[in-house]
A and B are shown apart, each in its own frame.
Chain A
Amino acid sequence: MRHHAHRVPVGIYTSSRHLAVTAAVVALPFFLLALFSAYANIELWRLSYDVGISVLRLAIAYFLSSCVGWVLAVLFYRGKKAEWALPFFDVLQSFPTFAALPFAVLVFGNASLVVIFFLFMIIVWPIFFTITSSLRLIKRDWHEAVAIADLRGLTYIKKFLLPASAPGFITGSIIGLGNGWEGLVATEIIARAPRGLGEFFQSFSSNPTVTAFGILGLLALIFLINKIIWLPLLEWSHTRTDD
């Protein structure tokens, strides 16, 4: 399984053809973007800038969610704490984020910060809960083997906690980013955040064709990110946790 006739630089690709097809697929959204901007008579740089700024907000929120979700999961996944913490977080995550949005705009104004904060609230829960379930599935044997090996501190995190939480983290990322994309445009519109896809869609809201194509492009982008990044990662992570 590990030795292939055609060695390619990146591990997850099985052949050079696989790599080439993937590269072509990665280029597709950019090609669509160019085509779309030509059709709608929008300057390409403006469109790219809006997409870029939205993706950046999402990326920052995702990064924060990953850190916070992972730390919370590690702190609360087992023991007495888990008995009250998990139901408590379950109630928190059911709180409808959008209900608080107008209030936050009132306090923080129409800033990127509000969008990032709300995306964080949307993304952090799936990541937290899927990592928690991954960690709760760790066999007692594995904990004991690690106790006998006397792993501590950074070594414990690197060799045990991080790999053990990887499958949950990847599943949580897929769900969280899915929700994140969904929330992104709406949050940007409601918060009237400067630039980004929210403003883009709003300024073209009277032109249904542009809006429809815009949404189609966004869906293609989300689909491709899933297909190219997350699904192979998910599959890979399972080969590393099934023994």
Chain B
Amino acid sequence: MFALEAKNINKTFMDGKNASPFHALKDINLEIHFGEFFVLMGPSGSGKSTLLRIFAGIEPAYTGERVLGAGLSQKDISFVFQQFALLPWLTVGENIELGLLERETSEEKRRERVWQELKIFGLEKFANHHPHELSGGMKQRVGIARALATDPKIIFMDEPFSELDSFTGDALRQELLDVWAERKVTIVMVSHNIHESVEMADRIAVLTKPPARVERIIQNHLPRPRNMRSEEVFRLDDELYQLIKP
């Protein structure tokens, strides 16, 4: 049972008038299973973010096929952005409500739903604040709460922790893992950070340099919660490092 299937996805950028076309993604074939934590890694500029956007349905220009799993539609998809992408004129509460506006007609239910997410992420006091009043960690909490508010089946995440300091990142990773275990949602995340990927992923797909293909898919069966100082973890770290190093 797959939540998302990619068949022969190719992406070419036609930037500029005279520049030659840039072949970013080449024949990407992937299956992502329901409920799994899937991580995309690869060298800088290997098109991970582009592939993630194609998967999420917000990058329409590509060839090949993107198939959502049985019973899934675009409504079941959410996205967490590297730079949070909170709308600055909306309050924290209104940002979390954003995805519910077209999905849930009852204002009361929307408010209830927003309040639940605010509580889960410890944001109750900030409900009426605007994004520019928050720290980076708080902003990404709002970003994740917004993504979860619509009860998505698949959440796509584009390096969600890379803008945060390491302590904030650690805390937020743990919160995300708890939420993931509890809600049985499928997560597809792009990451630059090997250790983070080993901590979180069930499977890690490593892309090559452009034109990017899937070089390898690494299974990570280590039991959770993972001991991040164990020998197996370091072995996986090394294996990934050898694959990705420039």
Quick one: CB contact mask for B57-90 with A, threshold 8 Å, 1 for yes? 0100000000000000011011101011111111
B81 near A150 (CB under 8 angstroms)? no
Shortest distance between the CB of A143 and any CB in chain B (Å): 8
Contact among A148, A155, A243 with B77 in the assembled complex (CB-CB below 8 Å): A148
Whether B137 sits at the interface, judged by CB under 8 Å, is: no
Whether B98 sits at the interface, judged by CB under 8 Å, is: yes
B87 near A148 (CB under 8 angstroms)? no
What is the bound-complex CA distance between A151 and B56, given in angstroms? 16
Whether B133 sits at the interface, judged by CB under 8 Å, is: yes
Set of chain B residues within 8 Å of A163, measured between Cβ atoms = 87, 89-90
Set of chain B residues within 8 Å of A160, measured between Cβ atoms = 87
Whether A63 sits at the interface, judged by CB under 8 Å, is: no
Chain A interface SS verdict (over half): helix
Question: Which of A90-98, A223-231, A234-242 contacts the other chain?
Answer: A234-242
Nearest residue, chain B, Cβ from A139: B85
What is the bound-complex CA distance between A148 and B53, given in angstroms? 11
Nearest residue, chain B, Cβ from A237: B89
Quick one: CB contact mask for B133-160 with A, threshold 8 Å, 1 for yes? 1000001000000000000000000000
Whether B35 sits at the interface, judged by CB under 8 Å, is: no
Interface size on A, residues (CB 8 A): 25
Interface residues on B, range: 20 to 34
Set of chain A residues within 8 Å of B85, measured between Cβ atoms = 139, 141-142, 144-145
A148 near B56 (CB under 8 angstroms)? yes
Given A159-B87, A163-B89, A239-B130, CB of A145 within 8 Å of CB of B102: no
A141 near B99 (CB under 8 angstroms)? no
A240 near B102 (CB under 8 angstroms)? no
Whether A149 sits at the interface, judged by CB under 8 Å, is: yes
Quick one: CB contact mask for A145-187 with B, threshold 8 Å, 1 for yes? 1111111100100011001101000000000000000000000
Given A144-B58, A144-B85, A145-B81, CB of A150 within 8 Å of CB of B99: yes
Set of chain B residues within 8 Å of A145, measured between Cβ atoms = 79, 81, 85-87, 98
B:96-150 near A, CB below 8 Å? 98-99, 101-103, 128-133, 139
Set of chain B residues within 8 Å of A21, measured between Cβ atoms = none
B75 near A150 (CB under 8 angstroms)? yes
Nearest residue, chain B, Cβ from A160: B87
What is the bound-complex CA distance between A226 and B62, given in angstroms? 50
B101 near A151 (CB under 8 angstroms)? yes
What is the bound-complex CA distance between A144 and B98, given in angstroms? 12
B98 near A243 (CB under 8 angstroms)? no
A147 near B58 (CB under 8 angstroms)? yes
* Cross-chain pairs A/B with CB under 8 angstroms, 15 sampled: A141-B83, A141-B84, A145-B79, A150-B74, A150-B102, A150-B103, A159-B87, A159-B98, A159-B101, A164-B89, A166-B89, A240-B130, A241-B88, A243-B131, A243-B139
Assuming A141-B85, A151-B101, what are 11 further A-B pairs, CB within 8 angstroms?
Answer: A145-B86, A145-B87, A148-B78, A148-B79, A151-B98, A152-B102, A155-B101, A155-B102, A241-B88, A243-B131, A243-B139
